[in-house]
Amino acid sequence: MSSTNLQNEMKTSETKYLGQIADAKNTDGEAISIGAFAKYLAEVKDDVKEAEKQYKKMLSVFRERNEPQLRQLPNPAGYPQLPGLCLYLASYAQFLSECRKDYDAAEDLYQQVLALDDTHLLALGNYAVLLHTVRKKYDQAEQYYEAATQAHPKHASVWVKFGNFKKHVRQDHVGAEECYQLALKSNANHPDALGNYAVLLHGALQRYGEAEELYQRAVTVDPSHVNNLGNYALFLADVRDKPLEAEKYYQKAIGLDPKHANSLYNYAVMLDSTRKDFVKAEKYYRQAIASNAKHAFSHYNLAVLLEEVKKDYDGAEQHFELAIAANPRDALALGDAATFFKNVRKNYDRAEELFKASIEQDDTCASVLYNYGNLLKNVRQNNEEAEEMYIMTIKQEPKHADALGNLANLYATRGDVKKAKATYEKALRAKPEHSENKMNYLKFKNKMANKK
């Protein structure tokens, strides 16, 4: 449809809505007519400012005319306008949550709708999402997800949302799979159900054949679904090792939504790690950040690229710090930033702070443990804690030749001959060509020989 035809169609629709509002003025249906117009403005015309104005007008009319009547009824279910009122009140709540981030007002409206109709699909499902993603009240969210699926067992979108909750919050992959299957039982061509189930099979369950089949169905059913296009591209790049085919899907996803941060980021990662096209990778990392200033992975990967490829240490430091601010619990980013501050900036206080934070999140990363051990040994002169870090490193990687060699040196320094000899030999069995360990072991043996 041409832009002129689209504008004409929207103008016709707007005139129709305004006519309906005029016809319903001073009747019990006035709030519904205004709500329908507000929903159109928000979801079709994308006129947020005018949509908010109309939603506020709808709420005012509802409270002035409909709400007093509802209070007087022993059973509100018999009120003829109730379905329409609940629909547009719940739509306004969704608008407040998603567009205005006014979660308190949204929650009040969801609760008001559910007080009128405790089985209302939109209110149950979206209130569950708000409790899940914003309030982090997981037990309460689960109750609303369950209520929504019980009241509407054939509604695919509710099952998808519940499946996402089970996957991400409960780490219940079996339960998530059951939800996605029930969604597809209700609607075999539901794009979100196909895409989310494919991601589960691709990632957590690693059933790649089934995942690919679902990805293909998903992008066929809805060729404009940006999330599914981007996730299928990631699958093709990482699992099938088909970067050229993956690139087609990334470019299609980005063409449809140039601000889709995850697609921009994943495309940048492929360009960075597979293509070694660092110029283009940097461009897409920066586009992802422009779309989402708190996209922690983009900041982190860009920091690594700037440090290792461009030697832009100021830029690297900036993006390491932004990555940590966006996700203070990312052990890998914390550890790599700590190593950067230790090796490049020589800012040992900041490095130690970040090493500790990284290990607090995950004490199984050998490279972080080893690098912190080096800082403790070489900078802090704290051999006791350095020894602990090297031992933890070797526990994770028993053949870590550098950690074994440094631990042997510590044993030799304090005169623990038996442990030093055994650890040097382990280090050389792990990596016989390690020149520094060979030299240190030879020095150790000569020293022991001279003492005899």
The pTM score is 0.87
Q: Residue 170 carries which DSSP code?
A: S
Residue at 83: amino acid letter = P
Q: How confident is the model at residue 450 (pLDDT cuts 50, 70, 90)?
A: confident
Q: Which helix (H) or strand (E) segment is 348 a member of? A: helix 348-361
- Within 13 Å and on the Cβ side, how many CA atoms surround 345? 22
**Distance (Å, whole) CA 200 – CA 198:** 5
Instruction: Show the tokens assigned to 254.
Output: 């980005």
Whether the CB-CB separation of 368 and 385 falls below 8 Å is answered with: no
**Distance (Å, whole) CA 15 – CA 307:** 57
For the segment 21-32, what is each residue's pLDDT rounded down to a tens digit?
999 999 999 999
DSSP string covering 47-69:
-HHHHHHHHHHHHHHIIIIIHHH
**Averaged over 355-375, what is the pLDDT?**
98
User: What is the three-class DSSP state of 273?
Assistant: helix
Question: Given this model, what pLDDT does residue 11 score?
Answer: 86
Dump strand ranges (E) for 83-166. Answer: none
* Residue 414 phi, psi (nearest 5): -90, 5
Whether the CB-CB separation of 225 and 258 falls below 8 Å is answered with: no
Instruction: Show the tokens assigned to 228.
Output: 């599914």
User: What is the three-class DSSP state of 80?
Assistant: coil
Q: How confident is the model at residue 452 (pLDDT cuts 50, 70, 90)?
A: low
Nearest to 229 by CA among 204, 264, 205, 203: 264
Whether the CB-CB separation of 63 and 93 falls below 8 Å is answered with: no
For the segment 396-408, what is each residue's pLDDT rounded down to a tens digit?
999 999 999 999 9
pLDDT exceeds cutoff 70 at 119 = yes
Q: Which residues of 323-335 are buried (b: 16+ CB within 10 A; e: fewer)?
A: bbebbeebbbbbb
**Distance (Å, whole) CA 336 – CA 320:** 8
User: Which residues are within 8 A (CB) of 209 and not within 5 positions of it... i.e. 6 or more apart?
Assistant: none
**Distance (Å, whole) CA 118 – CA 372:** 55
Q: How confident is the model at residue 139 (pLDDT cuts 50, 70, 90)?
A: very high
Instruction: Show the tokens assigned to 305.
Output: 């690229």
DSSP string covering 377-408:
IIIS--HHHHHHHHHHHHHH-TT-HHHHHHHH
C-beta neighbour count of 21 within 10 angstroms: 22
- Give the rounded percent of residues in the chain with a pLDDT score beyond 90: 96
Whether the CB-CB separation of 344 and 307 falls below 8 Å is answered with: yes
Nearest to 93 by CA among 150, 165, 39, 147: 39
Whether the CB-CB separation of 194 and 174 falls below 8 Å is answered with: no
Whether the CB-CB separation of 377 and 354 falls below 8 Å is answered with: no
Q: Residue 118 carries which DSSP code?
A: T
Nearest to 271 by CA among 263, 262, 280: 280
**Distance (Å, whole) CA 235 – CA 214:** 12
Residue 447 burial (C-beta neighbours within 10 Å; 0-12, 13-18, 19+) = exposed
Whether the CB-CB separation of 81 and 32 falls below 8 Å is answered with: yes
pLDDT exceeds cutoff 90 at 9 = no
Q: How confident is the model at residue 231 (pLDDT cuts 50, 70, 90)?
A: very high
Q: How confident is the model at residue 7 (pLDDT cuts 50, 70, 90)?
A: confident
**Averaged over 293-322, what is the pLDDT?**
98
Mean pLDDT across the chain: 96
Dump strand ranges (E) for 203-325. Answer: none
Residue at 443: amino acid letter = K
For the segment 202-213, what is each residue's pLDDT rounded down to a tens digit?
999 999 999 999
Instruction: Show the tokens assigned to 346.
Output: 């020589």
Q: How confident is the model at residue 1 (pLDDT cuts 50, 70, 90)?
A: low
pLDDT exceeds cutoff 80 at 447 = yes
- Within 13 Å and on the Cβ side, how many CA atoms surround 60? 8
Q: Directed axis angle between helix 138-151 and helix 121-130, to 10°?
A: 160
pLDDT exceeds cutoff 80 at 3 = no
pLDDT exceeds cutoff 70 at 6 = no
**Distance (Å, whole) CA 119 – CA 123:** 8
Q: Which helix (H) or strand (E) segment is 229 a member of? A: helix 226-238
Whether the CB-CB separation of 128 and 115 falls below 8 Å is answered with: no
Question: Given this model, what pLDDT does residue 121 score?
Answer: 95
Structural domains of the chain ordered from first start = 1-70+81-152 (1.25.40.10), 155-222 (1.25.40.10), 247-327 (1.25.40.10), 398-452 (1.25.40.10)
